[in-house]
Structure 1
Amino acid sequence: MISVDHLTKRYGAFTALDDVSFEARPGRVTGFLGPNGAGKTTAMRVIAGLTPAGGGSATVLGRPYATLPNPGRHVGLLLDASAQHAGRTGREVLTLAAVLTGVDRRRVDEMVDLVGLTSKEANRRVRNYSLGMRQRLGIAHALLADPEVLVLDEPANGLDPAGIRWMRDLLRGFASRGGTVLLSSHLLNEIERVADDIVVIGNGRVVAQGTTEELLAGSGTVVRSTDDATLRRALEVAAVGVSPVATGGLLVEADPEAVGRVALRAGVVLRELRSGDERGLEEMFLDLTATSAREGVAA
């Protein structure tokens, strides 16, 4: 279990986290989403005890990370795959971690096999690893002590499609055995497939959270036309609730037939007309974060 309660963090006049609260529960994968600069990485660093909170609290298994006895045995972290010692081999990285956490060294070979690194790759210097290989090594490091909790920041970066599928199955298996997973990723399609719960953050604040099913349930009708401005005015005249969709078009609080009739009367040609239930995570994410995206700012 991960519990974040009214968490705040400021850097001078800049507020990175503003009253953030959410939970990641055992037996479930929680997707943690937000545009660049939203505060995801800051929140995960506070959870991992690497950055002090300005206010509020973040606990793992009921305690702050730093107060856990031998925390590496309980929590697996992957926050930056490039942070591994470049001069060591992959096997040396894992062996040193096993020694420091008191894990049986036989786990090293088990993890090398689990993440799909060959014996030759495991004995190669990390400086010669591709990004995908570093990610696999980072996942092996996170799983080495058979932890109860995983905190992973963009673990799929650099993985090929087969690697992404492997990671998805790995995380689902970990959760099915009662583990807690907090997963940050820009691969929204993968989050939609693997996450049981989703937390969306923008400008340092939680803008939506709930089960994946709840957040994607949607309502109303999504419509795109040759003249959305005219269609929107016609819908408003008909006293129908309407709002713009970040990816283009309109989200209308009416069924598709009613929207089609309004468009017909207004003489507007429709390009797309479908139930809001069919909206995917990408559209929901863009709508929720349209005013909070800060391209090029560190998260």
Structure 2
Amino acid sequence: MIVIDGLTKRYGGHTAVDHVSFTARPGRVTGFLGPNGAGKSTTLRILAGLTPATSGTATVLGRPYHRLPNPGREIGVLLDASAQHAGRTGREILRVAAITMGLPRTRVDEMLDLVGLTQDEASRRVRDYSLGMRQRLGLAHALLGDPDVLVLDEPANGLDPAGIRWMRDLLSGYARDGGTVLLSSHLLHEIEVVADDIVVIGQGRIVAGGTKEELLAGTGTLVRCADTARLAESLAGAGHHVEHVDPADAGAGLRTDADPTTAGLVALAAGLALTELRTADGAGLEEMFLQLTAQTQRDAHARETAGAAA
């Protein structure tokens, strides 16, 4: 388990993280979202013992990172896949880590197989790796000690669609086996697919948090039928907000603030046969993210503009 409690980090007069609190629980993938400069990386660096906090705490399995007896056996961290030693081979990097953690050398080959790096690739210098290969090596390093907790920052960067699917399945399986996963990413769709819980940060403060279902419940319902105009009229007549998903396409469907059950009953009362009825989660996370962070991004832009004018 990861517990962030009242975490604050100031750099001079700038507050990068402002009383941040949330929990990432075992058996679940927690998505950590926010625009650039929101405080995600600072929070993760504090959690991983790389940056001291001004106040508040960040604990892993009940302890701050520096008090873990053998950190690599308890928390696996991947914050920057490009930070690996470029002059060493992938295998050498994992062997050094295995020795440090007191692990058998056989664990290195197990991890290389797990992340899909071949023997030839493992023998190459990291400077010759693609970004996707570095991501796989970084994940192998994070998983090497068989930790209970994983903390990953943008792990899908550089991966092709097959690699992203592989990453998604790996993290889901890790959580199903009881592990705790804290995943930061700008790929909103991937977070939406893999995350059980979501925490949204903006300008250093938590602006939303909860299960994926709870947060996306407010994104409305997608409903479609042959007579979109009549359906829109019926929903509006019942007091619900309605918008066309694609106004240029008569059959594109509608998004409404009514829940799926209510939307279905309205359509039934109007004698309309629906061809689609579901929570509007296809673009739901993106819309929720933009709504929750729009004010903080506007505030940041205003401050930057004011500073430039001064």
The answer to whether the superposition gives a TM-score over 0.5 is yes
Q: 1:105-140, CA deviations, whole angstroms, 9 ceiling, x for partnerless residues? A: 101001111111111100000000000000000000
Corresponding residue of 1:257: 234
Runs of 4+ in 1 over 6 A off after TM superposition: 260-263
Q: CA deviation at 1:204?
A: 0.2
Corresponding residue of 1:62: 62
- Picking from 292, 295, 301, the partner of 1:291 is 295
Structure 1 CA distance for aligned equivalents of residues 131 and 180 of structure 2 = 25
Structure 2 CA distance for aligned equivalents of residues 161 and 256 of structure 1 = 41
Corresponding residue of 1:237: none
Structure 2 CA distance for aligned equivalents of residues 88 and 194 of structure 1 = 33
- The DSSP-based 3-state class of the residue aligned with 1:18 is strand
Equivalence map 1:196-235=2 (5 Å): 196-218=196-218
Structure 1 CA distance for aligned equivalents of residues 289 and 209 of structure 2 = 11
Equivalence map 1:165-204=2 (5 Å): 165-204=165-204
Contact residue 47 and residue 59 of structure 1 kept, 8 A: yes
Structure 1 CA distance for aligned equivalents of residues 256 and 31 of structure 2 = 25
Structure 1 residue 10 and structure 2 residue 10: aligned? Answer: yes
Structure 2 CA distance for aligned equivalents of residues 45 and 165 of structure 1 = 26
Q: CA deviation at 1:292?
A: 2.3
Task: For structure 2, list consecutive stretches of 5 or more residues without a partner in the other structure.
Answer: 223-231, 241-246, 258-278, 305-310
Corresponding residue of 2:280: 278
Q: 1:238-263, CA deviations, whole angstroms, 9 ceiling, x for partnerless residues? A: xxxxxxxxxxxxxxxxx973536899
- The DSSP-based 3-state class of the residue aligned with 2:88 is coil
Contact residue 151 and residue 181 of structure 2 kept, 8 A: yes
Letter in 1 for 2:295: T
Contact residue 8 and residue 18 of structure 1 kept, 8 A: yes
Q: 1:211-250, CA deviations, whole angstroms, 9 ceiling, x for partnerless residues? A: 001000116679xxxxxxxxxxxxxxxxxxxxxxxxxxxx
Task: For structure 1, list consecutive stretches of 5 or more residues without a partner in the other structure.
Answer: 223-254, 264-269
Letter in 1 for 2:292: L
- CA separation of 1:260/1:87 partners in 2, compared to 1, >3 Å: closer, same or farther? farther
Corresponding residue of 1:105: 105
- CA separation of 1:112/1:261 partners in 2, compared to 1, >3 Å: closer, same or farther? same
Q: Identity over the aligned pairs, expressed in percent? A: 72
Contact residue 32 and residue 183 of structure 1 kept, 8 A: yes
Contact residue 221 and residue 256 of structure 1 kept, 8 A: no
Corresponding residue of 1:226: none
What is the TM-score with the length of structure 1 in the denominator? 0.82
Contact residue 219 and residue 288 of structure 2 kept, 8 A: no
Contact residue 31 and residue 198 of structure 1 kept, 8 A: yes
Corresponding residue of 2:308: none
Q: How many residues align?
A: 260
Equivalence map 1:3-82=2 (5 Å): 3-82=3-82
Letter in 1 for 2:5: D
What is the TM-score with the length of structure 2 in the denominator? 0.79
Contact residue 219 and residue 287 of structure 2 kept, 8 A: no
- The DSSP-based 3-state class of the residue aligned with 1:217 is helix
Structure 1 CA distance for aligned equivalents of residues 77 and 191 of structure 2 = 18
Corresponding residue of 1:229: none
Structure 2 CA distance for aligned equivalents of residues 2 and 285 of structure 1 = 23
* Structure with higher helix content: 2
Letter in 2 for 1:17: V
Contact residue 17 and residue 39 of structure 1 kept, 8 A: yes
Q: 1:80-118, CA deviations, whole angstroms, 9 ceiling, x for partnerless residues? A: 101100000000000000000101110100111111111
- CA separation of 1:60/1:259 partners in 2, compared to 1, >3 Å: closer, same or farther? same
Equivalence map 1:143-182=2 (5 Å): 143-182=143-182
CA RMSD of aligned residues (A): 2.3
Corresponding residue of 2:260: none
